[in-house]
Amino acid sequence: MATVLIVDDAKIIRKGIRNIMENLGHTIIAEADNGFDGIEKYKECQPDIVTMDITMPNVNGIDSGVDAVKHIIDFDEDANIIMVTAHGEQDKVMKSIENGALGYVLKPITGDKLRTAIKKLGF
């Protein structure tokens, strides 16, 4: 199974993703509530998978999950990042994929959606 970093500004979303991932047999090794902290946690923990919210507050010049993806990929081009998005954010999803994200999951997040996204990564 995989180690996971969850990056989302909403605590309830992080908790939901944690519960689903743990039920799927994965281990949560870190959480972050903004893109900047997500980058730092990635560098510290180097998880197998990152779930990254697209829309988060601007912290230290990191405008969103889209920007955080680029920074993580610049650090580790083999990072496995799954974007978490709401409907209507297709342009941000495409930008995230251009920056190196490997997939996305639409909210509301379910076990089936995450399982499918993770399976595409080979986990």
- Per-residue pLDDT tens digits for 13-61: 999 999 999 999 999 999 999 999 999 999 999 999 999 999 887 777 6
Amino acid, single-letter form, for residue 77: E
State whether CATH 3.40.50.2300 applies to domain 3-8+24-105.
yes
pTM: 0.94
Tell whether the model's pLDDT for residue 62 goes beyond 80: no
Amino acid, single-letter form, for residue 7: V
How much is the pLDDT for 5?
98
Tell whether the model's pLDDT for residue 87 goes beyond 80: no
- Residues 6 or more apart whose CB falls under 8 angstroms from that of 28 comprise 3, 4, 5, 6, 18, 21, 22
Q: Are 96 and 69 in contact (CB under 8 A)?
A: yes
How much is the pLDDT for 90?
85
Q: How far apart (Å, rounded) are the C-alpha atoms in residues 71 and 21?
A: 24
pLDDT bracket for residue 63 (50, 70, 90): low
Reference 2, options 31, 29, 20, 38; nearest CA is 29
